[in-house]
Amino acid sequence: MSDLHLAHWPRFAPKHLWIPETSLYANVEVSAARFPAKPFIVFYGTEITYGHFRDETERIAGWLQQDCGVKKGDRVLLYMQNSPQFIAAYYAILRADAVVVPVNPMNLTEELRHYVEDAGARVAFVAQELLARMQPLLGQGLEKIVVATYGDYVEPGCDWQLPDFVPAPRAALSDARAVAWADVLAAARKPAPMQAGADDLAVMPYTSGTTGHPKGCMHTHRSTMYNTVSNGVWHRANQGAVVLGVLPFFHVTGMQSNMNTVIYFGGTVVVLPRWDRDAAALCVQRHGITSMTLITAMVIDFMSNPRLDDYDLSSLQRLNGGGAAMPKAVALAMEQKVGLKYVEGYGLSETMAASHTNPLERPKEQCLGIPLAGVDSRVVDPATLRELPPGEVGEIITHGPQVMTGYWNQPQASAQAFVEIDGKRFLRTGDLAYVDEEGYFFFVDRLKRMINAAGFKVWPAEVEALLYKHPAIQEACVIAAQDARRGETVKAVVVLKPASVGQVTEQQIADWAHENMAAYKAPHIVQFAQSLPKSGTGKVMWRALQEAEKTAS
């Protein structure tokens, strides 16, 4: 591993981290003991203190153990949008010595069936508006559902413009196997003393590869705790932090940055169930948000809001994220508006969020950053695994304390995911990148996403970054299209900014691309769309567009 990046290590950050040898739930106990009356969660104006939060998680954990028979190591599904109940259920599951299985709220019944069967889950926490999707699985592996109603945590007289599903009244439950969240709390059960320790399983987020069913990434309390601490240390977190919790908590970035790290450092999280650029700006203004972790697509939408100048954003001290390279024009506009640089990072479900991030004092644009403390990350030839010199493109492999132990019940996939080099177990990420002369990592593309245009390698992410420089383009996704002569050619699916709709043609975009990038990279086909398909985390689903293109061909 090269040590070039150590020359730019933040002055305030230790190069070695001592991580608590405790369960994640110990962080709740510590913060609640220190700050019982301090607001931990703010939900549309409703404040939930650390002391109250600890009490609720204890009650729910007791109910899981006594009424559901949940034992150490059992997997429990968590299927809801960002809310106080999501956080409380997450920590109640941990308090019961069980394993959290967070599930994307966009999943439907047949997709949920895989999680129930694969994880062997008997209990699920489900939001009321999602109950109809999960309920058919009762009696088919699933035995109990706790139904959460978001409106239980919204106070009368709330003056926010609430999404329709938030204030919906509590619905009657017709199946005895479905129990209301309020009834679980009212039972006031007390849990047994906690048994789970640092090396027991804690969280199992599922990740979907290019083929097959999603796979569960096995994370212990230790691997999850590592990024909980390192994320906060790197970003100078403290008890004065007020964080916007809008990235989905079921995904590792939102889970770590806006939930677990906040608890560890005793901060406050202002929760939004889903992305809304005006609601986000109003949260900054009303609650003095100091930090926002947003994926690139959210920042693009936030900065394109014509009403942005109406809000006071002066409390913001940090804006970071990742998911895709930040377009230079958007980063510049953001810096001019709020005086902050967008600090990008990189990680996977397999690494429980970040393995790399940019130093706050010296970030680089459209860059993954440098490996965090304790992380050995290299760029290697995908075929030979030989480490490559700076400037050469290869696959990122990563060894570090936050890397998963393996895939749940998938010994073959686990074996294929890792390689041993120099006596260390490295995760093969499947991501292509290069390292510059200062040790910073730059993403090129997914190993399986490359377009082969008449023998030339085209990396869609690079072309997308160039397209964002066109003043009319709001979003772009580049895919491969079949071509009789070139085999594959480059196609761009483009969303125009509202003011440019009807003013710019697809051919004009294609002509501009040919004038501003190499001929083999420039999209030969441009197709306008009203929107791009996005995952529950807000990332553009390029695979869906690619599959649609193949079907059409």
For position 162, which CATH number holds? Answer: 3.40.50.980
Span 401-405, average pLDDT: 98
d(CA 111, CA 206): 12
d(CA 58, CA 64): 10
- The SS3 of residue 545 is helix
Task: Identify whether 127 is part of a domain.
Answer: yes
Task: Identify whether 145 is part of a domain.
Answer: yes
Contacts of 396 (CB under 8 A, 6+ apart): 377, 378, 379, 429, 431, 432, 433, 441
Task: Identify whether 362 is part of a domain.
Answer: no
How far, in Å, are 249, 436, 481, 518 from residue 5 at the CA level? 31, 10, 39, 31
- Domain edge (last residue) among 196, 212, 230: 196
Per-residue pLDDT tens over the stretch 303-339: 989 999 999 999 999 999 887 778 888 888 888 888 9
CA angle 351, 64, 205 (to 5 degrees): 15
454 pLDDT band, cuts 50/70/90, is low
Q: What's this model's pTM, rounded to 2 decimal places?
A: 0.84
211 pLDDT band, cuts 50/70/90, is very low
Per-residue pLDDT tens over the stretch 270-305: 999 999 999 999 999 999 999 999 988 889 899 989
Task: Identify whether 500 is part of a domain.
Answer: yes
The terminus-to-terminus CA distance of the chain in angstroms comes to 44
212 pLDDT band, cuts 50/70/90, is low
- The SS3 of residue 136 is helix
Contact indicator for 333, 304 with CB cutoff of 8 Å: no
Which residue from 127, 108, 128, 111 is spatially nearest to 119, judged by alpha carbons?
Answer: 111
Q: What is the pLDDT of residue 106?
A: 85
Question: What residues does 125 pair with on adjacent strands?
Answer: 78, 146
The yes-or-no verdict on residue 346 having pLDDT over 90 is yes
Question: What residues does 434 pair with on adjacent strands?
Answer: 442
- Domain edge (last residue) among 196, 212, 233: 196
User: What is the 3-state composition of the chain as percent helix, strand, coil, each rounded to the nearest 5?
Assistant: 35, 25, 40
Q: What is the 3-state secondary structure (H, E, C) of 304-333?
A: CCCCHHHCCCCCCCEEEECCCCCCHHHHHH
Q: What is the pLDDT of residue 172?
A: 95
Burial 258-281 (b: 16+ CB within 10 A, else e): bbbbbbbbbbbbbbbbebebebbb
Task: Identify whether 289 is part of a domain.
Answer: no
Strands annotated E in 237-323 = 242-245, 268-271, 291-293, 318-321
Q: What is the pLDDT of residue 151?
A: 96
Give the residue, 254 or 104, on which the prediction is more confident.
254
CATH number for the domain harbouring residue 544: 3.30.300.30
**What residue has token string 């991501």?**
431
Span 386-390, average pLDDT: 97
- Can you give the residue range of the structural domain that contains 69? 50-196
The yes-or-no verdict on residue 35 having pLDDT over 80 is yes
The yes-or-no verdict on residue 104 having pLDDT over 90 is no
Q: What is the pLDDT of residue 457?
A: 67
Question: What residues does 343 pair with on adjacent strands?
Answer: 320
Span 383-410, average pLDDT: 96
DSSP assignments along 30-97, one per residue: HHHHH-TTSEEEEETTEEEEHHHHHHHHHHHHHHHHHHH---TT-EEEEE--SSHHHHHHHHHHHHTT
Task: Identify whether 65 is part of a domain.
Answer: yes
Contact indicator for 441, 368 with CB cutoff of 8 Å: yes
Q: What is the pLDDT of residue 210?
A: 42
Contact indicator for 100, 25 with CB cutoff of 8 Å: no
Question: Would you state the structure tokens that stand for residue 108, as one six-digit string?
Answer: 């439907």
d(CA 392, CA 170): 57
Least confident residue range of 350-359, 449-458, 533-542: 449-458
Q: Dihedral of CA 509/514/516/518: which sign?
A: positive
One-letter amino acid of 482: Q
Contact indicator for 448, 515 with CB cutoff of 8 Å: no
Q: Dihedral of CA 189/192/197/201: which sign?
A: negative
Number of neighbours of residue 552 by Cβ within 10 angstroms: 8
Task: Identify whether 57 is part of a domain.
Answer: yes
485 pLDDT band, cuts 50/70/90, is low
- Domain edge (last residue) among 196, 211, 243: 196
Looking at the structure of the chain, the number of domains it has is: 2
Task: Identify whether 202 is part of a domain.
Answer: no
